[in-house]
Structure 1
Amino acid sequence: MSKYSIESFVNETKENPLERDYFELEKPQLLEINLNNQSVWTKRGSMVGYVGKINFERQGIMSGGIGNFLKKAISGEGSKLMKAEGTGRLYIADAGKRVRILYLNNESVCVNGNDVLAHENSIKSNITMLKSIAGALSGGLFQVKLSGTGHIAITTHGDPITLLVTPDAPVFTDPNATVAWSGNLSPDLKTNVSFKSLMGRGSGEEFQMKFSGNGWVLIQPYEEVYSVDK
């Protein structure tokens, strides 16, 4: 049999039937979610295929209560989540970005809203807002805090790196390259005016996120520009 035959192609690219975890990386850029009369939240537009009986429901703008309503309306987050419910295999992806699965054990993490791909129904999500105009200008104003016990999936452009934060060594990052950080950290936003003056024009580096305390920060080798849904 030729290595370029259709049969060879199918054998090389087909799913692995032995992998049936709830959240499973089918490929580095493709997440498989195995539903057994369950529901899961996914990023709207991320579904690329499914097998079985799965229904999809767009998240209402009022979900999460009035406290989240205004932030969702401003940020467009209210239109970005979709509920998938039923039994079957669901495949989701986001623009070829790499997928990372994390299991939270009564823990919390903060993730840039654009990088949340999916989370179990048992995970509580809350949109958090960095109270600085610098955040709005750099596109990093809205994040999602995910808390509880269960699986979550986040996405990155390329292979990320985790930087450890200690009391004697704070970490500074570009908001557009910052993907996630430990839930106990509350970053500050600072403006590097001298850098802006040196360059003579606006640049992402003029706005920085400062992480202090004990924890970690995940950054990607890419400065992502975030858009607001209309």
Structure 2
Amino acid sequence: MLYIPWCDRNVHEQDSKQLWRLSERDGGRSAVEATLNTRIRSHYDNLDAIAEDVRELGYPGAAAILAERMPRSARARSGELGEILATELVEEHLDFNVPIRRLRYKDGREMALRGDDFVGLKLDDQNNLHFLKGESKSRENLSKATILEAREALSRDDGRPTATSLLFVADRLMEGEGERRQMGRRIRNEVASRAAPPGRTSHMLFTLSGNATPQALHDDLAAADMVRPHLSAHLRIEDHQAFIQACYERALALGNE
């Protein structure tokens, strides 16, 4: 677990909309430091591959390979850490699975990936496929303009995950076997038919910032459509910039744990 020992969670729910305010508890950050390091690494490379690099190359060589996958600029690190923390929150607290760690597939260290920031999947009791379309934003000071930008992205394509994002996930799943390949096939079928009703796509907006939850986030959620479930989650990290820098420095410090 990452969030349960790290953060307190205040939930406000009305109809099919939820607002989560997450705040660090005393001692929470130190309690999850090792877990957070591992989770960050896992979004950039397979942990078994990192372990093999350590055996073959030692800690410095393995760290050098990992560093080639991780961004160096503060802006890119901020955005990607937001995506990582959003994914971890989904898988810890929601019924959705985010099966593909898309940061492993970037064309370059500093290049942002196109498409939805994260896509979650789940099957209901009737074996219907449900999607979670997610956007994440990380800012030292979260503003109304940034929130509106994220909501605009969520609303594109009639609120569905983009076909490009879904096909990316499907292609990676179909490289596997068994249930993963079957899920990839189902996603491709969904892209072809575009028949899924809006209620089978939920929206999640994840925000990471140094300031308290702004009123604009409350207002944005209140104004969101009523045709699907919505979750807005805000994680406040008061030393936002220092936290991000420290996260990446520790994640690259292989062998220090």
Does TM, scored on the shorter chain, surpass 0.5?
Answer: no
So what's the TM-score if we normalise by structure 1? 0.25
* Higher normalized contact order (CA 8 Å, seq sep 6+, divided by chain length): 2
User: Could you state the TM-score of these two structures normalised by the residue count of structure 2?
Assistant: 0.23
Structure of larger gyration radius: 1
Comparing both structures, which one devotes a greater share of its residues to helix? 2
